[in-house]
Structure 1
């Protein structure tokens, strides 16, 4: 390995399985000390019997790396604060935060319970916001003390957040929200020496288990990009979104102004509709929502 993350301390949330586990192992292989966070819940976010974070830590230690487990709930202020504190207490520094924790509670919108909406928003959006805020507060204090860090945050969105996904209205909305959070954080944290980017990965994990999973690449195929984004080597890259699937990396260009028209006077509804139809005829058609017929 190249030692790309040598000397860095990295937090990975939801690191007990799938993408998070792959990221944690990849950072450790590149020389980082890793805080492996996982609450140890099932695919739907409900309690499970095992402790996958401890298993990943054992893997890293067996390979000669450095790692410690955090079993707290990062959707609570106490859990998020404890996560950052554990990194600082264990290794004396924090350099990178990879927000990865999440689960699914899929339903068609007309059948989606408020509880399932709130649960997915809590874990994905709140579970990104609280660790991000705690890490940024530490880096801000360091910058004010004259010790600016090369801080890195990598958030985890999804193709569902970019395009939508039938049967995943809650998940799609949460993952789209993570993109907005990424853009704002990148702008606000720049003065602290912190870069914030997002990935939209596609990989075979327990969240994609089923018929589609067999056709997906391995989680380990996504991790090299995450390690690079979380290292000093990515200097100057912030506020960007990358799709990662197998050997393909795509820079997503997001919302940009397309065709436009201006009227010197207020439109009537009919005039506005006619103008909109003309603009739509000139515009690129949207990509289809995942699962749409």
Structure 2
């Protein structure tokens, strides 16, 4: 087994000061990568904490013999995202892997959801993914045109909420669904420049999910902790390695020791009249189509 499968690769991990992002950063460093640990260092509500989690993770990596740099760029700021990419390339001579992990939550039932709560979640999750992918993609395109095509990777972070929906998380679910859509488009466009783009939908205990998984703590006997963030990172490291070159445009669900490939929207049963339908005709047509199609997976939070 290759324990240094990312040796020599330069990796940016956003939201890497805590939780899953921290686990990714440490795992990439252990796999031989140079890691840019990006985290703005704020609380879940967006307030400044005065902490420096990115620097703390860099210190951990350095103590373990690795190489890392702390970045506090706001990835949802278009200019700051460009600076993150530019400074990474300037410091380390290139960029090979972008892991988009930064996120926030503003959970509320839809009829009580405020505009600012919608905008904040969209900004950090969806725009934060777009801005970094856009600027990293432009760098990789320029490299390819100059005859220096890099074996590059993007790993985005969607969610089960984005794939199936989650009650009380309309903003988060919409943003994470958008990330899944962004992933498949970016895979199609950036593949011309030697870049693969995939996404994960992880389930793990973090600041954002600690209430949900409060009763799923580590076993007192020291056994396997299925909700530990570190369980997610091995797949992300593999996706960031050169071994994953033929995998792109996919969304993987990962929880504990389980890994699965999510089934995306697909063309289903159809009926073609060969002309325009009259509204009165469509009742039995829709009933027939639904009878032939599989039932959708239930939304999280809805009784099954």
Normalising by structure 1, what TM-score?
Answer: 0.97
Match of 1:214, SS state, is: coil
Aligned to 2:221: none
> Superposition pairs for residues 57-96 of structure 1, below 5 Å?
57-96=58-97
- CA offset digits 1:143-182 (Å, max 9, x no partner): 0110000010000000000000000000000000001111
- CA offset digits 1:248-278 (Å, max 9, x no partner): 1101121112221111332222211211011
Q: Aligned match of 1:280 in 290, 293, 298? A: 290
CA contact (8 A) 2:41 2:53 kept: yes
Please tell me whether residue 267 in structure 1 is matched to residue 277 in structure 2.
yes
Distance 1:127 1:264 in 2: 44
Match of 1:153, SS state, is: strand
Distance 2:52 2:93 in 1: 25
Distance 2:116 2:191 in 1: 36
Q: Aligned match of 2:259 in 249, 271, 276? A: 249
- CA offset digits 1:50-108 (Å, max 9, x no partner): 11101000000000000000012111122111211221122111000000000100111
> Superposition pairs for residues 195-210 of structure 1, below 5 Å?
195-210=196-211
Distance 1:265 1:77 in 2: 46
CA contact (8 A) 1:12 1:36 kept: yes
Q: Which runs of 5+ in 1 are unaligned?
A: none
Distance 1:270 1:67 in 2: 64
Please tell me whether residue 51 in structure 1 is matched to residue 61 in structure 2.
no
Please tell me whether residue 231 in structure 1 is matched to residue 232 in structure 2.
no
Normalising by structure 2, what TM-score?
Answer: 0.94
What is the Cα deviation at residue 49 of structure 1? 2.1
Equivalenced residue count is 293
> Superposition pairs for residues 210-225 of structure 1, below 5 Å?
210-215=211-216, 217-225=227-235
Please tell me whether residue 32 in structure 1 is matched to residue 42 in structure 2.
no
- CA offset digits 1:198-246 (Å, max 9, x no partner): 1000001111011434325111101000001111010111101100111
Match of 1:67, SS state, is: strand
Aligned to 1:240: 250
Distance 1:212 1:8 in 2: 34
Aligned to 1:102: 103
Distance 1:185 1:72 in 2: 22
Aligned to 2:140: 139
Q: Which runs of 5+ in 2 are unaligned?
A: 217-225
Distance 1:45 1:259 in 2: 45
Distance 1:32 1:212 in 2: 31
Distance 1:94 1:66 in 2: 14
Match of 2:208, SS state, is: helix
CA contact (8 A) 1:5 1:31 kept: yes
